[in-house]
Amino acid sequence: MTKVIKVNEEIKEKMIDFYKDKLREKIPPYAIFQAKDGDTVITMYTSGKVMFQGNNADIDANMWGAMGSEINSIQKEIDSEFAKDEIDFNSVPTIGSDEVGTGDYFGPIVVASAYVSSKNIPFLINLGVRDSKNLRDDAILKIVPKMIKKIPYEATILSNKEYNNRHSVDVNMNKIKAVMHNKVLNKMVYDNKFEYDYIVVDQFASEKLYFKYLKDVNVVVKDIVFLTKAENKCLSVACASMISRYIFLKEFDKLSDKIKTNLPKGAGEMIDKIGKKLIEEYGEEILENIAKLNFKNTIRIKEED
Ligand code: MN
């Protein structure tokens, strides 16, 4: 949970004094201090905005907010929008994650998370890392093997069969994504001891929904910054995006080889044509192993011409 309040000079000084023994060594850009109190991370920015992150963020935020409310009526929850605008995620060490395959009828879903240290930022810029959606597949296949020599990452693949088993009325695509992101982030955060300033996820659902999807999951990575088009704003997300795409392409090739058909990507008309051919050759059961059955393509493919 992230909560943001604005404080006046008086409260600012009180807070600086209150948290002086709980300061973190590193201070994020534009911040006066960052402290950790219990489960809550408190970041005070020069603008007078204070961000509280963690399970009980609202309790801490409300305490300070109430204290200042007589003189300062500006207290609002703004879904950490301000932080997203003020932080240059490309200039600090981050863990980022992104997924691929969710718009493709054929092939698995892949989620990857990558870590970019300050030291590796110039390396990635030299490598020409940017939004993988703008990079052609042949460029991805060339760049990623070089990238992963230096960039640590974790990835998880959800096969079509597993996807089709999991996908039901109450397990939707976004919940599947949230569980997969959380899985790779757990490995990045708890199995490794990376030094990072932020965890950034390419946003596919609101922060509230994301954590709601994970309510039955044992260990949930918190303190995430959700950014739209994050692959353009944060190098670790750009890496995660390209690595997941790379893995997806490899898996896609394996599938194509297995059924001796060049499977098309996406979910357009071409898909239906190929799908029809495939069930003629292998029977309807083939789709379960190579496609996401809940897509509308399935109905069209199974339709008699
Ligand atoms: Mn994405």
Residues 72-99: pLDDT tens digits? 433 334 445 566 677 889 989 999 999 9
The pLDDT of 117-141, averaged and rounded, is 85
In the reported structure, the alpha carbon of residue 84 is separated from the centroid of ligand 1 by a whole-number distance in angstroms of: 17
d(CA 41, CA 48): 16
Torsion of CA 226, 230, 234, 240, to 10 degrees: 100
pLDDT over threshold 90, residue 242? yes
pLDDT over threshold 90, residue 204? yes
| Positions of E strands within 209-264 | 224-227
d(CA 286, CA 179): 26
pTM of the predicted protein model: 0.74
Decide if 83 contacts 252 (C-beta within 8 A).
no
| Positions of E strands within 77-193 | 94-100, 109-116, 153-158
d(CA 8, CA 6): 7
Question: What pLDDT does 83 receive?
Answer: 60
Are β-strands 94-100 and 198-202 bridged in parallel, bridged antiparallel, or unpaired? parallel
In the reported structure, the alpha carbon of residue 176 is separated from the centroid of ligand 1 by a whole-number distance in angstroms of: 14
In the reported structure, the alpha carbon of residue 229 is separated from the centroid of ligand 1 by a whole-number distance in angstroms of: 7
pLDDT over threshold 70, residue 3? yes
Decide if 242 contacts 249 (C-beta within 8 A).
no
Structure tokens at 168: 């039901």
Confidence of residue 167 (pLDDT cuts 50, 70, 90): confident
In the reported structure, the alpha carbon of residue 178 is separated from the centroid of ligand 1 by a whole-number distance in angstroms of: 12
The residues, any chain, with a CB within 8 Å of residue 103's CB and separated by 6 or more, are 266, 267
pLDDT over threshold 80, residue 68? no
In the reported structure, the alpha carbon of residue 100 is separated from the centroid of ligand 1 by a whole-number distance in angstroms of: 7
Residues 246-302: pLDDT tens digits? 999 999 999 999 999 999 999 998 999 999 999 999 999 999 999 999 999 999 999
Residues that place a CB less than 5 A from ion ligand 1: 98, 202
